[in-house]
Amino acid sequence: MRKRLAAIAICFAGLAAGATPGFAQNCPVSHELVATFAPLPQVHADVTKNKKLNILVVSAAPTQTGAAAGLKSYPYFLELALKERLKNTDVTVFAHSVPRKPIDDVVAALPGLLKERKPDLVIWQTGTVEAIRAMDPDVYGDKLLAGVELILAAKSDVILMNQQYSPRTDYMFDGVPYTDNMRYVAQSKDIALFNRYAIMKYWAETGIFDLSAMRNDGVYEKLHRCLGGLLSDFIVRAGSLPGSLE
């Protein structure tokens, strides 16, 4: 009881100070949606031994590139959340985008990026551009596998992240074959898949977020804060890090 009161007090204090306590607190998800089974050995080693965690977010999102601090999207909130949870760890999140280019271009950019950033963990957000272009899902799977092998060979962990749930465009292109291929790659390489699509769909179906707005309605930042928070939970659990609740 006292603990809970203390937690509430901290939350209020945090809110009052304009900080961001409990990132994933107002974004409930069902447990299965964020369950993870694959470990993150590099993350675990670097955090426990060197007190350092270097994350690289790779995507084809048009507006998501540069140091996380400069973005108000999930890499930024992920960095904030991890910094809060891993107090004595030097956390950096860097996002690199190859805007609106299919997976071939992303894979081509990987060697240079891995060499330059030397990440412990690559979060690979993928599948949207390919679904829009209706790329052959089998070819996509092969390219993804090749990319994942590049990352693993560079001694980094990988989390794959699938496309967003976008109710307006859900009809136009089908992301399922790409998520299926991500699952296949995740299974065969024993790496994690963060099912962003299912999580956002859950939020839409339970009324937590209305994702159908045609214009900017302020959901963007709240939603990315939630995603960042959930991702930080995901990483902490999968990496068996000190901030883990389990």
**Least separation, in Å, of the C-beta of 179 and another protein?**
9
Strand partners, 95: 57, 66
Size of the residue set binding another protein (CB under 8 A) = 55
Q: Does 183 bind another protein (CB under 8 A)?
A: yes
Kindly tell me which of 94 and 178 has the beta carbon lying closer to another protein: 178
Look up residue 176 and give its two tokens.
């399922």
Kindly tell me which of 11 and 169 has the beta carbon lying closer to another protein: 169
Residues in the chain: 246
Q: Does 214 bind another protein (CB under 8 A)?
A: yes
- x-or-dash pattern for another protein, window 90-119, by CB under 8 A? ----------x-------------------
Burial label for 154, CB within 10 Å (0-12, 13-18, 19+), is middle
Q: Does 70 bind another protein (CB under 8 A)?
A: no
Kindly tell me which of 212 and 244 has the beta carbon lying closer to another protein: 212
Kindly tell me which of 83 and 142 has the beta carbon lying closer to another protein: 142
**Least separation, in Å, of the C-beta of 114 and another protein?**
23
Instruction: Identify the residue among 11, 44, 45, 169 touching another protein (CB under 8 A).
Output: 169
- The string of DSSP letters for 99-136 reads TT--HHHHHHHHHHHHHHH--SEEEEE-SHHHHHTT--
Instruction: Identify the residue among 34, 142, 154, 173 touching another protein (CB under 8 A).
Output: 173
Tell which residue, 57, 137, 153, has the closest CA to residue 103.
137
Residues 6+ apart with CB under 8 A from 71: 63, 64, 95
Phi and psi angles of residue 239, each rounded to the nearest 5 degrees, phi first = -90, 5
Instruction: Identify the residue among 3, 87, 215, 245 touching another protein (CB under 8 A).
Output: 215
Instruction: Identify the residue among 57, 122, 135, 144 touching another protein (CB under 8 A).
Output: 135
* Position 133, amino acid: R
Euclidean distance between the first and the last CA atom of the chain, given in angstroms as a whole number:
20
Q: Which stretch binds another protein (CB under 8 A): 76-84, 86-94, 115-123, 208-216?
A: 208-216
Kindly tell me which of 48 and 206 has the beta carbon lying closer to another protein: 206
Distance of CA 220 to the CA centre of its chain: 15
Residues 6+ apart with CB under 8 A from 96: 56, 57, 58, 59, 65, 109, 113, 117
CA–CA gap between residue 195 and residue 222 (Å, rounded): 18
Sites for another protein among residues 17-46 (CB under 8 A): 35, 37-38
- Residue ranges in contact with another protein by CB under 8 A: 35, 37-38, 60-63, 100, 128-129, 132-138, 141, 163-174, 177, 180-181, 183-184, 186-188, 190, 193, 201, 204-207, 211-217, 219-220, 223
